[in-house]
């Protein structure tokens, strides 16, 4: 069935359910359905092979006096996004689709926390994103709440006694978690039987900040790049892609090539970084050191091409700010040739170390069915037999000009995810070489553009950790709503499946195997850091109480 | 000093620089200990401090008795004393980890316990036989293998550093130690590694039958740093084992080696 036929079928289904098709673009179909029929449509889409990418709650009271939730589905095989809108007045209940599409639970809970939406079925669940001492009735993403709002804090809430029994607390400052997150592992002997996760400790308010007067369309790419310290360019690319799609800006081909090249360089250094860390977790520090040694020329290459080792700052709406000349191309090709040779030699050693093979094989298994239900992304999906890769499924920038394979392993264990990343480094090196060879001449940015308000678009970019999603509703001078869904956000729920029955020693490799980037995930709101000493620490164990409810 | 050299050698294998300069190449571990000793003392319990100090004390006595035995191998009661002190210091190490009220330390303690269970009995008995008995090469060889393997395992290097396992259990048995107490525990570990390296060096002399020479102690003292560095180099090549794999594998290897020992002993008895 062609994409056009699929769109017709979706239109037919939406009309059948009493909804309307708002708009159709090359990459997405935007529909609105009556809220009582959304579950039916979600069920139909999910059973038609769609993955849920995320959902976004939006305060649209200034437009139509309503709140809305946009469920973003992706039909990977057709390269088409289906954005399903439901809306309701303040206080009206909106249905959940989490029972039909389990991957929707987190984003629905987030919409409930951030906008105060009444989502059926989630009423009794504890706060997901907001801290436990956040004031009642204050919803950060409502338009009438200023971006610089600071809650007074209520340290007294943390004065309860510590629970006498706790599982094994992993975090928020554990050597294996390089960012503050909290896992509580329940163990029998050295076998994990259950796991509780509490995230969102590092709230930076990036979505809210972008809607404030301090930012404009032109400056947000630099903010977006700061979502993550490893794959920041992915976020700025995803943002500009969404804006360019919304405003229908034709970006010069040379700029598209440069973006793809830098994205692949980012993927290479991210995977090399992860492989080193995986070796370190397994006690093979020589692997850690050598992998990072091999990574270093890639960092220098990034500096050569963009001017910075990290946080390149070259993405702007309509193109890029920095060009590549012939001498840089030649040096880049030399570096890539050397890196490939060294990497190939060392990977053979790494994948032959007995402890690594034994401990990564058969541990942290994520079956394909669970991977599908949770709509996991990136190497986590590809390690469980799902052939999902935005670069192939929804071609963007210059990827259509390069030939590459999408490595897929069906075992679903830590070794499979490791091997996916090992293979992807080779593919990325090849992509960069191909794109450098074929780099077209021409301008690197459009001279001028206009961004009409209230246009919607979805930008998706394949980050090293998987699909990154940015959803935009354009506004005047800046987005009306900018929703960021990092790949880790989609993969963390899968850890519950992966960690069960895993030996404790391998639990840390399993957590690391999704290559979690907590800073990407925890970008949601502005909170005040209430420095209340040990009382604050008590809050960490609140998860234990919720887990036992 | 040997630890500093080991770090420098490991660094060169891992494409790192390691401790900078000639002085630090030999004395970096001393600088580290001095720094730790200068930190504030945080005691979670006085008992832990006492156990940590006693562990160091018994290890120090163990080193001294070992030197005396190597000088005068005919005094077999010193060997018995040495083995007793070695066992006591090992027990203190376990006790310290078990006594700490921290889940990571408890997990580390159990891991150390499994490793000790898998190795210590075979190690002490084989060492005693090597030190006290004269036998054929057929007997000495499996005994030497047991001692060599045990010395490596008990030195707490990868793949058998599961009790510490910093990335997994946040340094496990050391998690509650800091400042001067951590310095003492670290120094104890260094001394333990020295004792084990020296034991293996002596066992090597015993294997080739030259312990009776008057230069035995000198040869052992020269061999010990080499043994230490070899241990360090081996550890660079390997990853960490898992608690349900490592101790069981060790136990199997030990049982096979002990079988060879018994066969050799039976052959000796038959010949006699």
Enumerate residues 6+ apart whose C-beta is below 8 A from A285: A279, B14, B158, B236
The 10s digit of each residue's pLDDT in B134-172 is 777 788 888 889 999 999 998 888 888 888 877 778 788
- Give the confidence band of B221 by pLDDT, cuts at 50, 70, 90: confident
A207 is in an annotated binding site: yes
B contacts of A168 (beta carbons < 8 Å): 103-104, 107
User: Minimal Cα distance from A285: which residue of B?
Assistant: B236
Task: Indicate the helix (H) or strand (E) that contains B10.
Answer: helix B2-13
Q: How many CA atoms lie within 13 A of A168 on its CB side?
A: 26
- Residue B83: predicted pLDDT: 84
- Residue A528: predicted pLDDT: 33
- Give the confidence band of B174 by pLDDT, cuts at 50, 70, 90: confident
Q: How many CA atoms lie within 13 A of A247 on its CB side?
A: 24
The answer, for B17 touching chain A at a CB cutoff of 8 Å, is no
Dist. CA A416–CA A8, nearest whole Å: 38
Enumerate residues 6+ apart whose C-beta is below 8 A from A147: A205, A208, A209, A211, A212, A214, A526
Dist. CA A323–CA B27, nearest whole Å: 50
The 10s digit of each residue's pLDDT in B252-270 is 999 999 898 888 888 888 8
**Which residue of A169, A175, A279, A283 to mutate against B (max B Cβ within 10 Å)?**
A283
Here the tokens at position B191 are 């001394």
Q: Is the CB of residue A17 less than 8 Å from the CB of residue A40? A: yes
The mean of the pLDDT values for chain B is: 85
Tell me which residues of chain B, numbers 143 to 182, contact chain A at a CB-CB cutoff of 8 Å. 158-159, 161-162, 165-171
Dist. CA B221–CA A311, nearest whole Å: 54
Tell me which residues of chain B, numbers 105 to 124, contact chain A at a CB-CB cutoff of 8 Å. 107
Q: According to DSSP H, which parts of B133-178 are helical?
A: 137-154, 166-169
ipTM of the modeled complex: 0.83
Q: What does DSSP say about strands A93-94 and A118-119: parallel, antiparallel, or unpaired?
A: parallel
Q: According to DSSP H, which parts of A17-136 are helical?
A: 38-47, 61-64, 105-115
A21 is in an annotated binding site: no
Map tokens 């080499």 to a residue. B226
State mean pLDDT over B90-102.
82
Name beta bridge partners: A71.
A55, A84
Dist. CA A418–CA A422, nearest whole Å: 6
Among B254, B272, B240, smallest CA distance to B123 is for B254
Q: Is the CB of residue A236 less than 8 Å from the CB of residue A224? A: yes
Mean pLDDT by 10 residues, chain A (549 residues): 85 93 93 94 93 94 93 93 93 92 92 93 87 86 88 55 56 69 79 81 81 91 90 94 95 96 96 93 90 94 92 93 90 94 93 89 93 93 94 94 94 95 96 94 93 94 94 94 92 90 85 82 43 31 34
A contacts of B163 (beta carbons < 8 Å): none
Q: Is the CB of residue B19 less than 8 Å from the CB of residue B9? A: no
Query: A286 and B243: CB-CB below 8 Å?
Result: no
Dist. CA B117–CA B130, nearest whole Å: 20
The answer, for A190 touching chain B at a CB cutoff of 8 Å, is yes
Q: How far is residue A472 CA from its own chain's centroid? A: 15
- Residue B212: predicted pLDDT: 67
The 10s digit of each residue's pLDDT in B104-120 is 888 888 888 888 888 88
Higher pLDDT, A536 or B244: B244
pTM: 0.87
- Residue A527: predicted pLDDT: 31
Task: Compute the Cα dihedral for A278, A284, A287, A292 and give only its sign.
Answer: positive
Above pLDDT 70, what percent of chain B?
A: 99
| CATH class of the domain whose range is A217-474 | mainly alpha
Here the tokens at position A367 are 């079956």
Query: B242 and A359: CB-CB below 8 Å?
Result: yes
Q: Is the CB of residue A494 less than 8 Å from the CB of residue A381? A: no
Could you state, in order of their start, the residue ranges of all structural domains in chain A? Answer: 3-119, 217-474
User: Minimal Cα distance from B240: which residue of A?
Assistant: A283
CATH architecture of A3-119: 2-Layer Sandwich (3.30)
Q: How many contacts, defined by CB atoms under 8 Å, are there between A and B?
A: 77
Query: B240 and A504: CB-CB below 8 Å?
Result: no
Could you state, in order of their start, the residue ranges of all structural domains in chain B? Answer: 1-38, 39-271
The 10s digit of each residue's pLDDT in B3-12 is 888 898 889 8
- Residue B269: predicted pLDDT: 81
């Amino acid at each position: 069935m062609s994409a056009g036929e699929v769109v017709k079928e979706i239109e037919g289904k939406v009309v059948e359910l009493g909804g309307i098709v708002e708009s159709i673009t090359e990459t997405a179909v935007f529909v609105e359905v009556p809220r009582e029929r959304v579950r039916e449509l979600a069920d139909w889409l999910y059973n038609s092979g769609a993955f849920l990418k995320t959902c976004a709650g939006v305060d649209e009271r200034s437009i139509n006096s309503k709140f809305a939730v946009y469920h973003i589905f992706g039909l990977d095989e057709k390269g088409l996004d289906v954005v399903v809108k439901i809306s309701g007045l303040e206080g009206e209940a909106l249905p959940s689709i989490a029972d039909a599409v389990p991957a929707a639970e987190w984003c629905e809970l987030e919409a409930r926390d951030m906008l105060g939406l009444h989502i059926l079925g989630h009423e009794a669940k504890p706060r997901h994103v907001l801290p436990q001492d956040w004031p009642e009735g204050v919803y950060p993403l409502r338009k009438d709440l200023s971006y610089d709002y600071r809650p007074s804090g209520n340290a007294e809430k943390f004065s309860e006694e510590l629970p006498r029994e706790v599982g094994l607390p992993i975090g928020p400052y554990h050597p294996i978690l390089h960012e503050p997150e909290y896992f509580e592992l329940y163990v029998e002997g050295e076998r994990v039987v259950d796991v509780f996760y509490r995230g969102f400790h590092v709230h930076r308010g990036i979505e809210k900040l972008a809607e404030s007067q301090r930012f404009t369309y032109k400056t947000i790419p630099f903010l977006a790049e700061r979502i993550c310290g490893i794959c920041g360019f992915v976020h700025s690319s995803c943002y500009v892609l969404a804006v360019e799609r919304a405003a229908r800006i034709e970006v010069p081909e040379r700029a598209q090539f440069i973006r793809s090249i830098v994205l692949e360089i980012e993927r290479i250094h991210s995977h090399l970084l992860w492989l080193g860390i995986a070796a370190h977790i397994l006690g093979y520090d020589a692997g850690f050191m050598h992998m990072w040694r091999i990574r270093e020329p890639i960092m220098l290459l990034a500096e050569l091409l963009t001017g910075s080792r990290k946080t390149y700052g070259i993405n702007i709406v309509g193109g890029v700010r920095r060009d590549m000349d012939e001498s840089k191309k030649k040096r880049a090709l030399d570096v890539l040739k050397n890196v490939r040779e060294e990497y190939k030699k060392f990977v053979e050693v790494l994948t032959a170390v007995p402890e690594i093979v034994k401990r990564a094989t058969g541990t942290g298994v994520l079956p394909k069915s669970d991977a599908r239900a949770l709509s996991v992304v990136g190497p986590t999906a590809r390690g469980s037999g799902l052939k999902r890769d935005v670069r192939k499924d929804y071609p963007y920038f210059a990827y259509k000009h390069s030939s590459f394979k999408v490595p897929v392993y069906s075992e679903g264990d830590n070794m499979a995810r490791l091997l996916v990343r090992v293979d992807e480094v080779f593919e990325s090196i090849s992509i960069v070489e191909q794109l450098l060879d074929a780099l077209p001449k021409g301008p690197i940015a459009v001279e001028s553009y206009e961004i009409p308000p209230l246009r919607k678009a979805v930008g998706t970019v394949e980050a090293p950790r998987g699909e990154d999603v940015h959803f935009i509703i354009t506004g005047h001078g800046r987005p009306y709503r900018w929703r960021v869904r990092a790949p880790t956000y989609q993969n963390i729920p899968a850890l519950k499946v992966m960690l069960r029955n895993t030996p404790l020693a391998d639990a840390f490799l399993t957590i690391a195997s999704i290559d979690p980037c907590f800073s990407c995930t925890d970008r949601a709101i502005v909170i005040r850091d209430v420095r209340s000493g040990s009382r604050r620490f008590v809050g960490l164990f609140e998860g234990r109480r919720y887990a036992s409810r | 000093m040997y630890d500093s050299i080991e770090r420098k050698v490991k660094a060169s294998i891992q494409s790192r620089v390691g401790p900078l300069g000639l002085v630090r190449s030999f004395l970096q571990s001393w600088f580290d200990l001095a720094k730790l000793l200068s930190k504030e003392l945080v005691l979670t319990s006085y008992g832990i401090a006492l156990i940590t100090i006693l562990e160091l004390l018994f290890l120090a006595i163990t080193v001294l008795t070992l030197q005396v035995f190597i000088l005068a191998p005919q005094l077999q009661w010193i060997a018995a004393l040495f083995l007793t002190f070695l066992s006591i210091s090992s027990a203190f190490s376990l006790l310290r980890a078990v006594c700490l009220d921290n889940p990571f330390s408890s997990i580390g303690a159990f891991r150390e316990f499994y490793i000790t269970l898998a190795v210590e009995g075979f190690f002490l008995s084989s060492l005693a036989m090597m030190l006290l008995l004269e036998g054929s090469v057929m007997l000495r060889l499996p005994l030497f293998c047991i001692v060599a393997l045990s010395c490596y395992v008990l030195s707490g290097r990868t793949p058998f550093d599961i009790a510490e396992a910093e990335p997994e259990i946040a340094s496990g048995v050391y998690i509650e130690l800091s400042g001067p107490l951590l310095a003492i525990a670290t120094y104890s570990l260094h001394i333990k590694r020295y004792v084990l390296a020296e034991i293996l060096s002596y066992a090597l002399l015993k294997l080739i039958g030259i312990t009776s020479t008057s230069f035995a102690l000198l040869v052992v003292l020269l061999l010990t740093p080499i043994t230490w560095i070899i241990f360090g180099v081996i550890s660079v090549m390997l990853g960490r084992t898992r608690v349900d794999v490592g101790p069981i594998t060790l136990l199997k290897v030990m049982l096979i080696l002990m079988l060879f020992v018994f066969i050799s002993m039976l052959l000796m008895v038959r010949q006699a």
